[in-house]
């Protein structure tokens, strides 16, 4: 397997982010499949109310907040925020009864909702608990892959422990904060992977996100994964696609058998024209990534008929193929 | 007897509404389409404002947004001229800055400059204004309200913040009013004991006292004091916020407002659209319908040219046939995508019912980063 991919998988925590719509959930699931293929036990964590992982593994949606087996050696957890908050509060308050009394009056809930840093803390605390089973009693896993929010929110999430540390200096919350900071800053344990696609805003956001992380946080950053790249799954396609319409018309006119089919040729060339233009746009944005100096891996736009679950398998296979190299700086 | 069909055209929407809110999850082309809708309305004589959140640099520059945030300005005349656009109406654009909107609200409702400044400098406020979950969405609504009531635009189009799910935008008002309106929560922090800066437990009933002890234990007393100070300064503004929240709610529920969902012709995006519709129904919000963006253009059927140009003995014909093979592959891939999308569109049509609009806009061969391309979109939209 590709060395860079192996390197990502040596971590305990992989945080997957990227602009909405680029395939974050797909890639999270694919990384899970790759981890499982290498013999590791992977836990895929989804935040908030989205529950896509079950779909991506052709499993029924899990009810409530429980670990769900998605595939051999792959478990999923789609905990809604309320459950994570309860666990957080109980780890501080120690008494479940007390927590439920508070919740009933909605005070604590509103309080945590009102302090955004604390909100993120609840999420990160959940991650920490899942990776420290001896302390939390959660089942063990080798690796946790988090389907994190889009880059803007992800940055806030990752910055929140540092921001809170200036405001909360003592007490049980401070202890939790310290644990989380230690986990995130440990470059052998944690890595952030940004997914993008070769389009204007996604690339801009990916590059800005990575710069922000490098500048403000002490977090290991993995290669960028550029998803939905067209023209790389069929040999010779990129070459044909780059030829001009005039050139192609000329080449085709040389074959007399095609002469009666001018209309059909025009139609086929219209499809070619659209692809050629899309590839031109794609190339422009891939070049931006290349110029940035960040290592990256490209993953293909997949067959349109494939189900989401099949796409996950196809992407995993693509990434594990040793001939699909990362582009390194 | 013929039944009158509802005119669900986009032109009708653009010429009759006062507010159009474009929702949709990330990456579907919301900003481009919002800009195109606004431009078309302006071309049809309406005084139009587009409120964007996060436009790409080039489009922002084309709309004249690079310098100013949170203030509306006319789309530059030279950009319109470059794109060959003649407006009979007015076309203004604005880029939302959520933090500044918060600051403006505080400035508006604070009882004095010193209270305003205390809030600006409060640690909790600095955190809240930037990052309160749902804050950006709520600030978009606040700004919309201001634009709709203070200025005399015929039409305001709101490009909503990027989000995981289209539905996220609808949760913001609910979250904010819970935050602002939970009276018991504020009661505790606004009681005289807290305002005096002392945590005098004896002054409270036993219920509140134990609650405060717990909060103190959770966070460390310093934060409680910060929060208390923040809320005590905020107290005078809560009534204003509350009234405003209600007025905003009324605005988005009115028949002069309409929600439009922008989605991609892909499975997950369509599922998202249906969740969105359900939420709109629950909240009783006016839904015009769905625009599916970047739909693969349909092409006529062709003969399989590979059979026609099958390789013969000559080298040249072999080359030609390889070429034809690849070209047919490209063509077929597009048609396969069309087929898959048509199935999804039919499914969506089914689930939306017959009264909601469902329009499609084709994938363009260029990026939407200039007014010429936005104009091209208006030409497509005009026919829908």
The stretch B289-316 carries a mean pLDDT of 88
pLDDT at A24: 94
Top-confidence residue, A50 or B155: B155
pLDDT given for residue B208 in this prediction: 56
- Using pLDDT thresholds of 50, 70 and 90, give the confidence band for residue B383: very high
Determine, for residues B333 and A304 on separate chains, whether the beta-carbon distance falls below 8 Å. yes
Under the banding of pLDDT at 50, 70 and 90, the label for residue A20 is confident
Over the stretch A186-218, which tens digit does the pLDDT of each residue have? 999 999 999 999 999 999 999 999 999 999 999
**Residue A261 near residue B303 (C-beta atoms within 8 A):** yes
Please state the pTM of the whole predicted model. Answer: 0.90
**Placement of tokens 């910060």 in the chain:** B226
- Closest chain B residue by Cα to residue A200: B56
A251: chain B residues, CB-CB within 8 Å = 319-320, 323
* B47-52 β-sheet, strand order: B73-74, B90-95, B47-52, B155-159, B19-23, B257-263, B287-295, B357-362
Higher pLDDT, B179 or B291: B291
The phi-psi region of residue B31 (left if phi > 0; otherwise alpha if psi is between -120 and 50; otherwise beta) is alpha
> Do residue B322 and residue A20 have CB atoms under 8 angstroms apart?
no
| pLDDT at residue B139 is higher than 60 | yes
The arithmetic mean of pLDDT across residues B262-289, rounded, is 92
Q: Which of A154-163, B65-74, B201-210 has the lowest mean pLDDT?
A: B201-210
pLDDT at A92: 76
Higher pLDDT, A171 or B113: B113
pLDDT surpasses 50 at A120: yes
A95 touches B: beta carbon within 8 Å: no
Q: How far are the Cα atoms of A124, A162, A280, B122, B339 from residue A229, in angstroms, in the given order?
A: 32, 36, 12, 47, 21
A304 in contact with chain B, both atoms CB, cutoff 8 A: yes
Mean pLDDT over A223-242 rounds to 92
CB–CB contacts below 8 A, A to B: 204
Nearest beta carbon to residue A115 from set B127, B305, B363: B127
Confirm or reject contact between A277 and chain B (CB < 8 A). Answer: yes
- Per residue, the 3-state secondary structure of B48-106, as one string, reads EEEEECCCCHHHHHHCCCCCCCCCCEECCHHHHHHCCCCCCCEEEEEECCHHHHHHHHH
- Distance separating alpha carbons of residues A222 and A202, to the nearest angstrom: 17
CB contact residues (below 8 A), chain A span 185-244, against chain B: 199-202, 204, 234, 236-237, 240-241
Among all chains, which residue has been given the structure tokens 């900071």? Answer: A181
Q: What is the 3-state secondary structure (H, E, C) of B286-349?
A: CEEEEEEEEECCCCCCCCCHHHHCCCCCCHHHHHHHHHHHHHHHHHHHHHHHHHHHHHHHHHHH
CB contact under 8 A, B185 and A111: yes
Proportion of chain B above pLDDT 90, given as a percent: 51
pLDDT of residue B214: 65
Residues of chain B with C-beta less than 8 angstroms from the C-beta of A248:
323, 327
- The tens digit of pLDDT for each residue in A265-311 reads 999 999 999 999 999 999 999 999 999 999 999 999 999 999 999 99
Q: Which of B25, B178, B302, B335 to mutate against chain A (most A CBs within 10 Å)?
A: B302
User: Which one of A50, A264, A303 has the shortest CB-CB distance to B164?
Assistant: A50
Res B5 pLDDT > 70: no
Using the predicted structure, report yes or no on whether residue A115 has a pLDDT greater than 70.
no
A48/B365 Cβ within 8 A: no
Reported as a pLDDT band with limits 50, 70 and 90, residue B69 is confident
The two structure tokens encoding residue B194: 């807290």
Hey, which of A2-6, A222-226, B104-108 has the most confident mean pLDDT? A222-226
Interface check for A108 against chain B (CB to CB < 8 A): the answer is: yes
Q: Containing H/E element for B136?
A: helix B135-150
User: pLDDT tens digit string along A126-170?
Assistant: 999 999 987 777 778 999 999 998 888 899 899 888 888 877 777
pLDDT in the model for residue B40: 97
- Give the span between the Cα atoms of B377 and B220, in whole angstroms: 55
| For B214, nearest residue in chain A (alpha carbons) | A93
Predicted pLDDT of residue B174: 62
Count CA atoms within 13 Å of residue A307 on its CB side. 9
Quote the mean pLDDT of chain A: 88
């Amino acid at each position: 397997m590709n060395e860079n991919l192996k390197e990502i998988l040596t971590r305990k925590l992989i945080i997957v982010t990227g602009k909405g719509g680029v395939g974050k959930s797909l890639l999270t699931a694919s990384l899970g499949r790759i981890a499982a293929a290498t013999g590791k036990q992977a836990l895929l964590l989804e935040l908030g109310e989205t529950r896509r992982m079950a779909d991506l593994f052709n499993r029924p949606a899990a009810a409530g907040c429980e670990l769900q087996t998605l595939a051999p050696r792959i478990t999923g957890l789609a905990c809604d925020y309320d459950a994570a908050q309860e666990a957080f509060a109980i780890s501080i308050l120690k008494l479940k009864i007390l927590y439920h009394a508070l919740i009933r009056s909605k005070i604590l809930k509103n309080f945590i909702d009102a302090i955004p840093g604390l909100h993120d803390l609840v999420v990160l605390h959940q991650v920490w608990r899942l990776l420290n089973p001896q302390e939390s009693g959660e089942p063990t896993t080798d690796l946790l892959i988090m389907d994190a929010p889009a880059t803007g929110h992800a940055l806030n999430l990752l910055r929140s422990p540092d921001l809170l540390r200036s405001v909360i200096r003592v007490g049980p919350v401070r202890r939790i904060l310290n644990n989380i900071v230690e986990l995130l800053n440990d470059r052998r344990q944690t890595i952030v992977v940004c997914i993008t696609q070769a389009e204007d805003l996604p690339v801009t956001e990916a590059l800005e996100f990575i710069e922000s992380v490098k500048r403000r946080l002490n977090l290991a950053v993995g290669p960028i994964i550029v998803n939905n790249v067209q023209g790389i799954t069929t040999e010779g396609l990129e070459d044909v696609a780059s030829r001009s319409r005039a050139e192609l018309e000329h080449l085709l006119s040389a074959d007399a058998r095609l002469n009666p089919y001018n209309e059909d040729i025009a139609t086929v060339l219209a499809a070619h024209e659209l692809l050629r233009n899309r590839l031109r746009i794609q190339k422009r944005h891939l070049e931006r990534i290349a110029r940035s100096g960040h290592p990256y891996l490209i993953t293909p736009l997949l067959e349109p008929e494939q189900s989401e679950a099949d796409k996950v398998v196809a992407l995993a296979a693509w990434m594990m193929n040793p001939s699909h190299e990362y582009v390194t700086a | 007897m013929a039944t009158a069909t509802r005119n669900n055209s986009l032109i009708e929407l653009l010429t009759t509404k006062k507010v159009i809110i474009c929702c949709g999850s990330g990456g579907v082309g919301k900003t481009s389409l919002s800009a195109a809708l606004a431009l078309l309305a302006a071309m049809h004589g309406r005084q139009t404002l587009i409120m964007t959140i996060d436009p790409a640099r080039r489009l922002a520059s084309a709309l004249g947004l690079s310098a100013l945030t949170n203030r509306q300005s006319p789309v530059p005349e030279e950009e319109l001229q470059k794109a060959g656009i003649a407006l009979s109406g007015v076309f203004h654009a604005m880029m939302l800055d959520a933090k500044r909107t918060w600051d403006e609200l505080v400035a508006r409702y604070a009882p004095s400059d010193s209270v305003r400044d205390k809030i600006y400098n409060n640690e909790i406020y600095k955190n809240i204004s930037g990052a309160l979950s749902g804050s950006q969405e709520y600030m978009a609504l606040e700004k919309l309200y201001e634009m709709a009531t203070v200025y005399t635009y015929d039409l305001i189009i709101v490009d909503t913040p990027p989000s995981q799910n289209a539905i996220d935008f609808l949760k913001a008002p609910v979250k904010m009013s819970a935050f602002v309106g939970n009276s018991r929560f504020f009661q505790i922090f606004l009681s005289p004991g807290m305002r005096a800066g002392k945590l005098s437990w004896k002054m409270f009933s036993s219920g509140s006292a134990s609650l405060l002890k717990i909060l103190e234990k959770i966070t460390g007393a310093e934060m409680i004091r910060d929060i208390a100070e923040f809320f005590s300064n905020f107290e005078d503004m809560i009534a204003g916020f509350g009234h405003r929240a209600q007025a905003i709610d009324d605005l988005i529920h009115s028949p002069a407002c309409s929600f439009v969902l922008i989605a991609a012709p892909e499975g997950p995006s369509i599922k998202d659209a249906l969740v969105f519709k359900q939420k709109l129904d629950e909240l009783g919000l006016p839904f015009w319908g769905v625009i599916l963006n970047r739909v693969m253009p349909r092409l006529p059927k062709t003969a399989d040219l590979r059979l026609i140009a099958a390789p013969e003995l000559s080298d040249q014909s072999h080359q030609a046939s390889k070429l034809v093979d690849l070209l047919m592959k490209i063509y077929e891939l597009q048609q396969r995508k069309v087929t898959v999308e048509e199935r999804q569109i039919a499914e969506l049509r089914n689930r939306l019912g017959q009264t909601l609009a469902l329009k499609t806009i084709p994938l363009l061969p260029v990026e939407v980063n200039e007014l010429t391309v936005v104009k091209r979109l208006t030409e497509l939209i005009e026919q829908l």
